Amino acid sequence: MGINPGRYPELDACRGVAIVLMIFFHFFVDLTFLGLPGPDPFSGLLHILGLSTATLFIGIAGISAHIKIEKTPGFRNQMWAFTQRGGKLLLIGFGITSVTWWYLNGEGYVVFGILHLIGCALVMTPLLRRLGYFGLLPAFVILTISYGALLPPGPLWMAWSGVHPEDFVSVDYTPLIPWLSVFLAGLSVGKFLYPSGIPRYSLRPQNGMLLSLFGVAGRHSLAIYLIHQPVLILLLSALSGNILD
């Protein structure tokens, strides 16, 4: 199978690893959701795994955004390209919000998930990339605000920012504070590793079946992301003898 010369196999492989980790983590989340026995995915090592997986996804998105914008000359062209790309993810994200709101009867649905976050970050990329390495400063400030518990509670419509009601619950919540900091860090890592969109080092992995499989998964990460949860829930429900309403 040939590889598109415009792609970066090492990033596809990393994205594929993130996909596998995500499915593994969501397996335990779905066990809890269906009331089946299993470890708590929201504490301990599984919780750390979930946070690490989201960090990997968003960081790779930042690196890829740097490469894409380096290959898109002109600020207007960049705004148009990234508005299209980010807008597509936002539309899909709002579709997920609608579906989960219906499926979960308006309780715990996806308000501002990882696709919303990456979509917003991509729309802002032509402006964010002008910060260069100085983008690490607002990233640090965002982390300080979040982990210093400096955000007050607020209305649900502010959830995109990290401000939300005290009793807020969501199955996928990835607000700009703190997660935009990871995207900003990804832009800086991309700037260092891929100056002008060209690898600084020989990062491409050696050919191998495992890395090739990860690469395939990485190239189809959005499709896998969209279908894996329904498939997991249906399989777990069938195997456990549960019948979904």
The predicted pLDDT at position 32 comes to 87
pLDDT tens for the chain, residues 1 to 245: 444 556 788 899 999 999 999 999 999 998 888 888 889 998 899 999 999 999 999 999 999 999 999 999 999 999 999 999 999 999 999 999 999 999 888 888 999 999 999 999 999 999 999 999 999 999 999 999 988 888 899 999 999 999 999 989 898 999 999 999 999 999 999 999 999 888 887 755 555 677 788 888 899 999 999 999 999 988 888 887 644 44
The predicted pLDDT at position 95 comes to 95
CA dihedral 164, 167, 170, 174 (to 10 degrees): 30
The predicted pLDDT at position 245 comes to 47
Q: 29 in a domain, yes or no?
A: yes
Q: Which domain holds residue 77?
A: 9-240
The predicted pLDDT at position 3 comes to 46
Q: 2 in a domain, yes or no?
A: no
- The predicted model scores a pTM of 0.90
Q: 111 in a domain, yes or no?
A: yes
In the chain, the number of structural domains is 1
Nearest to 150 by CA among 168, 138, 163, 160: 163
Q: 39 in a domain, yes or no?
A: yes
How far is Cα 228 from Cα 76, in angstroms, rounded to an integer?
A: 36
The predicted pLDDT at position 240 comes to 75
Q: 149 in a domain, yes or no?
A: yes
Q: 14 in a domain, yes or no?
A: yes
The predicted pLDDT at position 2 comes to 42
Q: 1 in a domain, yes or no?
A: no
Q: 199 in a domain, yes or no?
A: yes
